[in-house]
A and B are shown apart, each in its own frame.
Chain A
Amino acid sequence: MAERRMPVFPMPRTAFVLLLLSVIFSVLPHWQRVPSWLLAVFVLVLGWRILVFRQRLQFPARWLRLLLVSAGFVGVIYHHGTIFGPEAGVGLLITAYLFKQLEMYTRRDALLVVILSFFVLATAFLFSKSLYITLYILLVMVLITAALVALNQTDRSINLWSPLRAALSSMAQAVPLMLVLFFLFPRIGPIWELGMQTSTKRTGLSEQMSPADIAELSQSSELALRIEFEDEIPLPRDRYWRATVFDRFDGRTWYAQDAAQVPALNRAELSLAGKPLRYRVYLEPTGQHWLLAAPLADVQGLEHRITSSLIYHTEEAIDSSVSYRVESFPDYQYQQAGISRLQYTRNTALPAGGNQRTRRYSRQLLQQSNGDPAAMVQAIHSWFFTSPFVYTLKPPQLGANTIDEFLFDTRRGFCAHYAGALVFMLRSVGIPARMVAGYQGGEPHPIGRYLLVHQYDAHAWVEYWQPGAGWVRADPTAAVAPHRIESGSLRESLQQQELEDSPFSALSARNLPGMERLRLLVDYMDYLWLKNVVTYNRDSQYRFLRNLMGEVTPQRIALALAVCGGLVVLGIALVTWLPQRQLRRPGIADRAYLRFTRLLARRGICREQGEGIVSFSRRAQAALPEQQDRIQRISELYSTVKYSPVTGTTQHQADKNDRLAALEQELKREVARFRP
């Protein structure tokens, strides 16, 4: 069957250029998420489309298009291994969007591409809501709108500025309305939810962790959270942001507690003391169920439960930026009276055999410290400090008895190794202990009063239980690499050659003072955005509305929406309409004459828009013979004022003005007396 040749819509050149740019910039935010071969296809398809536009090539035949699209779909699904989840979904969308370029025959197709561009662009919000991506999306939106404008123009030459200006002005008019809707429109929970966490790979702490994972995290300079303090920022050595607990060890890997299975915290076992630390946490999406906080914390503003292992567990995974207020009591004591049998068993469990050297050495240390857990931890710390232990992110491979080999042979490792070893040693002599993961340290921001915590601040430490004191924190890393804890600086804890491929080499630009300031400023803008816009949710909206109007009722919300929306629309109308109005403000004579025409219009004699004064006068006279004289007089007066030189002989401007004013007044009087 022969391919039916479609008549191709002669797209305006400007529209084509703008549409092409729209396509490129809509896909751009996803370039790292789509398979790399798709980018090559992308370039090829756009090249093909350009050649079609320049009439060097034909559109591909239908069978070829079908083949290409199917191959694209299969490729994307193969790449992601699923058709579910946002990444695969966006990949498929982009594939379809891309090949649509090759069948853009009609005007309708072009409009479809415009709408698809908006849609593809909006999917960038699935992955990031930062200030910069938002600005980018706004800019590209202007571009796409300009393409839409250009599709309706008929210029033969390329004129990008005129559609861009039209798009900018319509966007500018939409912004105030957008703000009103953003702040006032009720936020209804989503009807369906996208299973973001199922496929999204996020950098950060995860449920299972072998030491290597933390080492990998240390390579990432991505932001994990920001902490805004109400008072002083605590010292680096007190900055422990606890996330989760690893309490099961299989000889190689530590496993996180399934917080959902752990009973809730019993407040009676808790005693809080000291001055609380008040702060607000802005957490980047983690895809996990835990909140970050310094123990022992009172978290407000986010639904959660506290487990008996002090994990702040949320029902929903954290898939978007959240913020919550925290009040922490660093000098807390927990379970100093005793722990349950279950907890004891769980926190002393070890694999049955292996690591005999460590077990032996632990018993020896326990004897030396007279069975006191604190003294034993102290002894282990000083052993770490005095023996040639090295803090490194590139530890050698370990064999079957990981702890033995680490402690007695290689002696090279990082926080997870030391914490794991300490927990093992304590457990092997029956002292309950567990590994705690979270972030340690953070970089104070010089402008905003907040702390930047990055992924490379990920840290693992230890909590052991001591009768009478409860759970106590111990950080063996402090003994090996004091800088890591004391100054929060990983950099100084590492040997020179390791810096080469650590995140700091990438950030060596930090040494330039200007770059450093720029980086911090960029982060500050993003922080303000996050603080004020992204985390504006139903609760903050409720607070805002309550401040605004006292009691929040649907009627009041509707009223506020109507009033604010109305004001905005009115404002825009005034701004665009007033200058024109001012420009052609009618004078006295015009107003009088317009009144005259209105009076006549009531009698059904309407002046046509293009009708002259004389013609109208004649028509009106014919329709109202009894008012003939008056109509004649008024029309003559107006015509004289407007079109005749007014003065007969005088050349003086003053006389002229007087005469003109007299005529205008007479016209006014005549019209006032006019009763049709």
Chain B
Amino acid sequence: MSKPVAALVQALSRVLLGKEGQIKLALACLLAKGHLLVEDLPGMGKTTLAHALARVLGLEYQRIQFTSDLLPADILGTSIFNQNSSEFEFRPGPVFTQVLLADEINRATPKTQSALLEAMEERQITIDGHSHPLPSPFFVIATQNPTTQMGTYPLPESQLDRFLMRISLGYPDPAVERKLLQGFNPREDMSSLPRATDAAGLAQLQQQVSAVFVSDALLDYVQRILAFSRQTNQFSIGLSPRAGMALVQCARAYALVNGREHVIPEDVQAILPAVAEHRLAGARDITGHEGQRLVDRVLKQVDVIAGR
């Protein structure tokens, strides 16, 4: 494991106990310059993850709690008339930060959601005809409650697609849970969390991601996965070319997180659920989680080795 990345994982593990897999995925997502969607029930440590990530990466951090009456201006900012200079003055909103935690994004109305999602895609916002670039790097870590819960506006497929990965944290191990019950508070520990790197270091790591080697055999495997998702009639929509690119990019980042300079099929398999689940939909999907079953199929049925 290359040194800075190892340090990052180690630091994060101190606040998120027993979640090394998710930490690696989240890191890979950020290293692949993608936005992250964390979906889980309230109280599973989503916010902790986002906050800790911002902290160890040494980045500026803002949090927006999405509610049903949140307006686009509350996120992006507004122009205010300054009586002294008799001019409109732009007051940047919370979106002007490096790591943005959009908490419970699916509680807001689609209009507000899309305001954020536009910012995610363009990495700049336009208000009153003026473009305001967002800081670099710019990450959105959004959390959402399962769409079957009350008072949620599910994100449409097109917007889900903007998130490179969707992960969920899941319940902690009994041993870890015992520790929490004994009084360990991750949020209190946050302040003592060391900064493992900074914006420049992060940019360097992102450079390294694109240098990770991807062999023809691996691309064959990825293409078999894509073809499988498009052929079998259990998928109502197969994986798009963008999803394919995301797969390769994430696999590279994941290989780097694991300290390798080339991608192996296990990398693809590790990131596949996070990258593909929210982009796949079953023929009769209600919960938005049919993807999980389908990804399992892909993992089981798509052969790693050509031929046979």
Per-residue A-contact encoding for B185-210, CB less than 8 Å = 1, 0 else: 00000000000000000000000000
Residue in contact with A645 in the complex, picked from B213, B217, B302, B305, CB distance below 8 Å: B213
- Tell whether A590 pairs with B305 under 8 Å between CB atoms, given A612-B266, A639-B264: yes
Residue in contact with A642 in the complex, picked from B217, B269, B308, CB distance below 8 Å: B217
A549 interface hit (Cβ, 8 Å): no
Least CB distance, A583 to chain B, in whole angstroms: 9
Indicate the member of A586, A591, A609, A614 with the most B CB atoms within 10 Å: A609
B303 interface hit (Cβ, 8 Å): yes
A501 interface hit (Cβ, 8 Å): no
Indicate the member of B263, B299, B304, B305 with the most A CB atoms within 10 Å: B305
Residue in contact with A609 in the complex, picked from B261, B262, B264, B302, CB distance below 8 Å: B302
Least CB distance, A307 to chain B, in whole angstroms: 69
Tell me whether B264 and A613 are in contact (CB under 8 A). Answer: yes
Cβ contacts under 8 Å, B301 to chain A? 609-610
Tell me whether B264 and A643 are in contact (CB under 8 A). Answer: yes
Interface size on A, residues (CB 8 A): 21
Cβ contacts under 8 Å, B263 to chain A? 643
A626 interface hit (Cβ, 8 Å): no
Tell me whether B213 and A608 are in contact (CB under 8 A). Answer: no
A250 interface hit (Cβ, 8 Å): no
Residue in contact with A594 in the complex, picked from B262, B269, B305, CB distance below 8 Å: B305
Cβ contacts under 8 Å, B304 to chain A? 609-613
Q: Which B residues from 284 to 308 make CB contacts under 8 A with A?
A: 298-308
Tell me whether A610 and B269 are in contact (CB under 8 A). Answer: yes
Question: How long is the Cα–Cα vector from A643 to B301 in the complex, in angstroms?
Answer: 20
B170 interface hit (Cβ, 8 Å): no
- Tell whether A608 pairs with B300 under 8 Å between CB atoms, given A586-B306, A643-B262: yes
B68 interface hit (Cβ, 8 Å): no
Question: How long is the Cα–Cα vector from A613 to B300 in the complex, in angstroms?
Answer: 14
Question: How long is the Cα–Cα vector from A591 to B304 in the complex, in angstroms?
Answer: 14
Least CB distance, B209 to chain A, in whole angstroms: 15
Tell me whether B306 and A584 are in contact (CB under 8 A). Answer: yes
A54 interface hit (Cβ, 8 Å): no
Residue in contact with A614 in the complex, picked from B233, B266, B307, CB distance below 8 Å: B266
B126 interface hit (Cβ, 8 Å): no
| Chain B residue with Cβ nearest A639 | B264
- Tell whether A612 pairs with B264 under 8 Å between CB atoms, given A584-B307, A643-B215, A645-B215: yes
Cβ contacts under 8 Å, B308 to chain A? 586, 594
B265 interface hit (Cβ, 8 Å): yes
Per-residue B-contact encoding for A170-189, CB less than 8 Å = 1, 0 else: 00000000000000000000
Least CB distance, A27 to chain B, in whole angstroms: 34
Least CB distance, A344 to chain B, in whole angstroms: 85
Residue in contact with A643 in the complex, picked from B218, B269, B298, B300, CB distance below 8 Å: B218
A593 interface hit (Cβ, 8 Å): yes
Question: How long is the Cα–Cα vector from A584 to B307 in the complex, in angstroms?
Answer: 5
Interface bracket on B: 20 to 34
- Tell whether A615 pairs with B266 under 8 Å between CB atoms, given A642-B217, A643-B218, A644-B213: yes
Cβ contacts under 8 Å, B307 to chain A? 584-586, 590-591, 594
Tell me whether B303 and A613 are in contact (CB under 8 A). Answer: no
Tell me whether B306 and A644 are in contact (CB under 8 A). Answer: no
Question: How long is the Cα–Cα vector from A615 to B213 in the complex, in angstroms?
Answer: 20
Cβ contacts under 8 Å, B298 to chain A? 610
Tell me whether B218 and A612 are in contact (CB under 8 A). Answer: no
| Chain B residue with Cβ nearest A618 | B266
Question: How long is the Cα–Cα vector from A147 to B293 in the complex, in angstroms?
Answer: 32
Question: How long is the Cα–Cα vector from A610 to B300 in the complex, in angstroms?
Answer: 4
| Chain A residue with Cβ nearest B225 | A610
Question: How long is the Cα–Cα vector from A586 to B302 in the complex, in angstroms?
Answer: 16
Least CB distance, A599 to chain B, in whole angstroms: 15
| Chain B residue with Cβ nearest A646 | B215
Tell me whether B306 and A590 are in contact (CB under 8 A). Answer: yes
Cβ contacts under 8 Å, B261 to chain A? 644-645
Question: How long is the Cα–Cα vector from A639 to B265 in the complex, in angstroms?
Answer: 9
- Tell whether A610 pairs with B302 under 8 Å between CB atoms, given A642-B218, A643-B218: yes
Question: How long is the Cα–Cα vector from A590 to B306 in the complex, in angstroms?
Answer: 7
Question: How long is the Cα–Cα vector from A584 to B266 in the complex, in angstroms?
Answer: 21
Least CB distance, A52 to chain B, in whole angstroms: 26
Indicate the member of A585, A613, A639, A642 with the most B CB atoms within 10 Å: A642
Per-residue B-contact encoding for A600-614, CB less than 8 Å = 1, 0 else: 000000001111111
Cβ contacts under 8 Å, B213 to chain A? 643-645
| Chain A residue with Cβ nearest B302 | A610
Per-residue B-contact encoding for A614-649, CB less than 8 Å = 1, 0 else: 110000000000000000000000010011110000
Cβ contacts under 8 Å, B265 to chain A? 612-613, 643
Cβ contacts under 8 Å, A585 to chain B? 307
Tell me whether A610 and B305 are in contact (CB under 8 A). Answer: no
Question: How long is the Cα–Cα vector from A593 to B303 in the complex, in angstroms?
Answer: 14
| Chain A residue with Cβ nearest B269 | A612
Least CB distance, B102 to chain A, in whole angstroms: 34
Tell me whether A610 and B303 are in contact (CB under 8 A). Answer: yes
| Chain B residue with Cβ nearest A593 | B305
| Chain A residue with Cβ nearest B236 | A154
Question: How long is the Cα–Cα vector from A639 to B217 in the complex, in angstroms?
Answer: 10
Per-residue A-contact encoding for B240-279, CB less than 8 Å = 1, 0 else: 0000000000000000000001111110010000000000
Question: How long is the Cα–Cα vector from A609 to B304 in the complex, in angstroms?
Answer: 7
| Chain B residue with Cβ nearest A638 | B305
Question: How long is the Cα–Cα vector from A154 to B236 in the complex, in angstroms?
Answer: 11
| Chain A residue with Cβ nearest B296 | A610
Tell me whether B266 and A642 are in contact (CB under 8 A). Answer: no
Question: How long is the Cα–Cα vector from A609 to B299 in the complex, in angstroms?
Answer: 8
Cβ contacts under 8 Å, B299 to chain A? 610
Question: How long is the Cα–Cα vector from A639 to B306 in the complex, in angstroms?
Answer: 13
Cβ contacts under 8 Å, B306 to chain A? 584, 586, 590
Interface residues of B (CB under 8 A from A): 213, 215, 217-218, 233, 261-266, 269, 298-308
Interface residues of A (CB under 8 A from B): 154, 584-586, 590-591, 593-594, 608-615, 639, 642-645
Give me 10 A-to-B residue pairs in the complex whose CB atoms sit less than 8 angstroms apart, sorted by A's number.
Answer: A584-B307, A586-B306, A609-B303, A610-B303, A611-B304, A613-B265, A613-B304, A643-B265, A644-B213, A644-B215
Q: A154-B233, A642-B218 given. 20 additional CB < 8 A pairs? A: A584-B306, A585-B307, A586-B305, A586-B306, A586-B307, A591-B307, A593-B305, A594-B308, A608-B300, A609-B300, A610-B298, A610-B299, A610-B301, A612-B304, A613-B266, A613-B304, A643-B213, A643-B215, A643-B262, A644-B261
Name the 5 nearest CB pairs between A and B, nearest first: A586-B307, A612-B265, A642-B217, A612-B266, A645-B213
